[in-house]
Each structure stands twice: as C-alpha cells, then as structure tokens.
C-alpha cells in the first residue's frame, strides 16, 4: 500500500531565529526614529514657548517706555516678571495661564526627578528664567542700554531646584540647564530663539555682551 509523504507545515528553528532577528532590527529602528521625532517635537515646542514669552515681555516693555522688567521683582513691589507679562499673553487673567503648556517639555519631565508633580503644582510660572543681569535700577535697566539685542540673552532654560517651586526666577551662567542633550534653549532680546552649547554659555571667557548687553 502506497502512503503519501508528510511534510512539516511549521518553521524550522533557523527560520524562527531569522524572523526574530528581523523583528528586533525593525523594532530598534522604530524606537530610534520615535525618539528622534519626540526630541525634535520637544525642541520645536521649547523654541515656540520662548518666542511667545519674549513677545509678551517685549510688548509689556513698550508700554513701560522701554524700561526692562527685572528678573526678581518690580521696583518697589513684589510682582514677578511672569505676573507682569500675563496680560500680554492674550489671556483675560492670570488664572487662565497654562504655565505647563508654556514650559520646556523636557524640563517638565525633569520635575518628577526632584519630586515635583507638574500636574498638581500650584506654580504660577513656566520653567524658563529671565536674565538675572536685568535690574530695576542700573546700567542694564532699559532697552536703549543694550548694545546688541540680538546677542543678549533675554530668557532661557534653567536648572530645577528641589527647594524652590519649579525653577529659579532668573537665569545666569551658573544655573543654565541643557535640557536638550548638550543644548540649552536661549531666547534673545530681538525675539529670536536658538539652542546653544552648555559649555559656551558657562564659559569663563564669555564677554558681558551675552548677559549684560555690553562688551
């Protein structure tokens, strides 16, 4: 009696290993592409936030006859620069300001590392700091005193302190933060924003132009 040959309908071990290897490679490529896309989105959002805040700041400055708002408080009062630019953000009142949406996405993610819950915090400011060299009274107190606005920092990414709500109010050489790998988001007095190397910002060879608007 003749019998039919039986062939296996399954995969061999080598075929399974090849399929697994291909899937692993595809997964690795997909994760890398996803990470790059997420980083690009974060950088674009950070730049857009800084431009929006700087636009509000510069608009408020025009109404103040060119007087700059200090990084800590208004002369003779306690209002912060965030409080003073809120009316220029196109919102009716301070309670309407969504500071999470106006913060660096990477900095918001970093809040959890210092025990701050960004979804429940009562913070009234974003994660950016204003140039600490701006003073209510002094050489760097009016827009007209800036020699090169396009090369003088207005605001940028700051480090997060667990002892303070969100970040410090002012930014200076010692507390800039490279939230975008080796890059720190910086917005200048002419309104343009870019990413600068952390080593460049913290360099001891930097002139006063970057921070004080003078050489």
Annotated domain spans of the chain: 14-212
Give the pLDDT score at 195. 93
DSSP type of residue 5: P
Identify the three-state secondary structure at position 189: coil
Give the pLDDT score at 65. 87
Per-residue model confidence as pLDDT tens for the chain (215 residues): 555 555 556 668 787 777 788 888 877 766 665 666 677 888 999 999 999 999 999 999 888 888 888 876 665 566 778 888 888 887 555 556 678 888 899 988 877 776 666 665 556 678 899 998 888 777 788 888 888 899 999 999 988 765 555 556 788 888 888 999 889 999 999 999 999 988 888 876 666 788 888 76
Cα(194)–Cα(209) distance, integer angstroms? 17
Cα(199)–Cα(194) distance, integer angstroms? 15
Give the pLDDT score at 45. 93
Q: How much is the pTM?
A: 0.77
**CA distances to 69, 79, 85, 137, 204 from 74, in Å:** 7, 6, 12, 10, 30
Give the pLDDT score at 194. 94
Helix-strand-coil percent breakdown of the chain, rounded to 5?
A: 40, 15, 45
Residues near 175 by beta carbon (within 8 Å), at least 6 away in sequence:
129, 158, 159, 168
Beta-strand (E) ranges in the chain?
Answer: 128-131, 153-157, 170-171, 183-188, 193-197
Start-to-end CA distance of the chain, whole Å, equals 103
Closest CA to 102 of 164, 154, 47, 158: 47
């Amino acid at each position: 009696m003749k019998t039919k040959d039986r062939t296996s309908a399954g995969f061999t071990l080598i075929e399974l290993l090849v399929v697994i290897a291909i899937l692993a490679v595809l997964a690795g490529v997909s994760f890398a592409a996803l990470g790059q896309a997420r980083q690009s989105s974060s950088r674009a959002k950070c730049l857009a936030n800084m431009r929006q805040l700087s636009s509000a700041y510069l608009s408020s400055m025009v109404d103040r006859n060119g007087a700059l708002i200090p990084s800590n408080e208004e002369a003779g009062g306690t209002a912060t620069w965030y409080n003073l630019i809120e009316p220029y953000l196109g919102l009716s009142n301070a309670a309407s300001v969504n500071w999470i949406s106006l913060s660096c996405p990477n900095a918001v993610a970093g809040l959890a590392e210092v025990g701050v819950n960004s979804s429940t915090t009562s913070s009234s400011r974003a994660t950016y700091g204003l140039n600490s060299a701006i003073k209510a009274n002094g050489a760097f107190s009016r827009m007209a005193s800036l020699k090169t606005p396009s090369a003088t920092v207005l605001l940028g990414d700051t480090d997060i302190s667990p002892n303070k709500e969100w970040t410090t109010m002012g930014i200076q050489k010692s507390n800039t933060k490279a939230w975008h790998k080796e890059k720190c988001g910086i917005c200048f007095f002419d309104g343009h924003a870019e990413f600068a190397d952390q080593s460049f910002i913290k360099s001891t060879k930097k002139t006063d132009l970057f921070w004080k608007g003078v050489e």
